[in-house]
Amino acid sequence: MTKSSTRQSDHPPFAFVLFGGTGDLAMRKILPALYAAHRDGLLAPEGRIVAVANTALDTSGYLRWVGEHVKPHISGAAFDDSVWRSFLERMAYVVLDASQPEAFSVLRDALDTGRGRRIYYLATGPALFVPICRALASAGLTEGSRIVLEKPLGYDLESSNAINDAVGQIFNEDQIYRIDHYLGKEAVQNLLALRFGNSLFEPLWRREWVESIQITVAEELGVEGRGNFYDQTGALRDMVQNHLLQLLSIIAMEPPRSMDADAVRDEKLRVLRALKPLLGDEIRHNVVRGQYHVGAIKGASVCAYHAEQGVGQGSTTETFVALKAEVESWRWAGVPFFLRTGKRLAGRLAEIVVNFRPVPHSALGPTALRPGSNRLTIRLQPNESIRLSALAKQPGMGMTLQGVHLDLAFDQFFQQDRMEAYQRLLLDVIGGRLALFVRRDEQEAAWRWVAPIIEDWDGHASPPKPYASGTWGPAAASALLARHSTCWPEEEN
């Protein structure tokens, strides 16, 4: 194993119970993250991983399954065969139908031999969250434990509250970890450091100096075989209600008194509650929804959303959303926040762009008055970085201004390996750190804000606007920004 900054003996023992242990999320994200933590010496030697699913396998068969499905998601340089073998020694497998409470006695028997705090990770559909929690309680397996809930937590405000009410009857709020993996990304952590660790930006981080803020989370992929799930969810519920609003709340929050979990989450909650409601005609004026049609991604033809497996004919589910939000506070009044997310777009990209206002008067020509001349770009993926754009004099005669960049590429500046989002978040669950997880009142405030948009679309709204796969979405998303005399970054050249 590689050296870690702390000894294994400093890390608490645990029993990590992974429901949905044969599922896609477990194979692509959770188990690779646990392997990385094991490789880096960040898991206690006594820590155990118990995978739970209803696939008929014994433990040896499950370990072969894991070898086939998890290894492709671990980069070659990060994989070590001897470390992998020792990682598998932590694992056991329990065949269990999560909808049958009486079957949980098998899980209880498997856990009775273990040490440490029990952590239940529900990598299942939300319909199983409440049955699993109730079955765990009936089997006497909840005392002192922690539970991790994956998104989406419900379908709307009512269903989200129903799940939270039921889970809250069994687990205390400080036992519940609602995970949003974007909060574990290194660049998001650096956004907090940038804002609250440097006096340079704080005086500028307000309406007097910020013209607009853009948040983009774009995917090249389509629904990738998850048509049955996605057609009941859509981009607004899948991405805006959680990922994008969480990023917005971190950008717009006031400085917390400390980095304690509730201090940070209190400030995020204030932002979510200060979001100006979108109602009636405001929805149709400030929200764009789209759906991808045929097109090409990196030269390869791809099908329309309607042709995806599991998608209903004539479906009006959105695969793209762009909208304008406003935070009604003294710091941000009048500053538009433009949010955008979609599938089958021109590139894989997650970034936050803070556009500062141009100088009020320029003696150096019109270049200094051009929007976007002064800009801070925080890129979350694919390559985490921070870029500050400014103007400088071009060498030579005269005073010709040219855009220049100050770049911080984390992989070049910091020599140590970066920790992936899921690894950081899983270690926080094991260590009992809640700051990077969503509190119930945050989640409720986010659902409450998107609820009128959902109701409008379910009512009399027009169908999603079509856009060709491999583009940046429907033209209406560009028109939305044009009405505010700005544009998306890729449209500037």
Catalytic residues, by residue number, are 243
What is the per-residue DSSP string for 428-481? HHHHT--TTSB-HHHHHHHHHHHHHHHHHHHTTPPPPEEEEETBSS-HHHHHHH
Helix (H, G, I), strand (E, B) or coil at 329: coil
Asked if residue 295 lies in contact with residue 222, where contact means CB atoms within 8 angstroms, the answer is: no
Task: Kindly state the tokens that stand for 395.
Answer: 């060498």
Asked if residue 106 lies in contact with residue 96, where contact means CB atoms within 8 angstroms, the answer is: yes
Long-range contacts of 61-70 (CB under 8 A, 24+ apart): 61/93, 62/21, 62/22, 62/91, 62/93, 63/88, 63/91, 63/93, 65/22, 66/27, 66/31, 66/91, 69/27, 70/27, 70/31, 70/32, 70/35
**Closest by alpha carbon to 129, among 158, 152, 105?**
152
Peptide bond into 371 cis (omega under 30): no
Q: Quote the CA–CA distance of 105 and 136 in Å, as a whole number.
A: 9
Binding site per annotation, positions: 151, 181, 185, 219, 238, 343
Q: How far is CA 287 from the centre of its chain?
A: 21
- Those residues with Cβ within 8 angstroms of residue 56's Cβ, 6 or more apart along the chain or in another chain: 95
Asked if residue 435 lies in contact with residue 259, where contact means CB atoms within 8 angstroms, the answer is: yes
Q: Quote the CA–CA distance of 192 and 198 in Å, as a whole number.
A: 10
3-state secondary structure 113-155: CCCCEEEEEECCCHHHHHHHHHHHHHCCCCCCCEEEECCCCCC
Asked if residue 130 lies in contact with residue 159, where contact means CB atoms within 8 angstroms, the answer is: no
Q: Quote the CA–CA distance of 322 and 276 in Å, as a whole number.
A: 16
Binding site per annotation, positions for substrate: 181, 185, 219, 238, 343
Task: Kindly state the tokens that stand for 203.
Answer: 């005086």
Indicate the residue type of 331.
R
Q: Which strand (E) or helix (H) includes residue 91?
A: strand 91-95
Task: Kindly state the tokens that stand for 382.
Answer: 């694919």
Are β-strands 375-381 and 385-393 bridged in parallel, bridged antiparallel, or unpaired? antiparallel
Q: Quote the CA–CA distance of 238 and 465 in Å, as a whole number.
A: 18
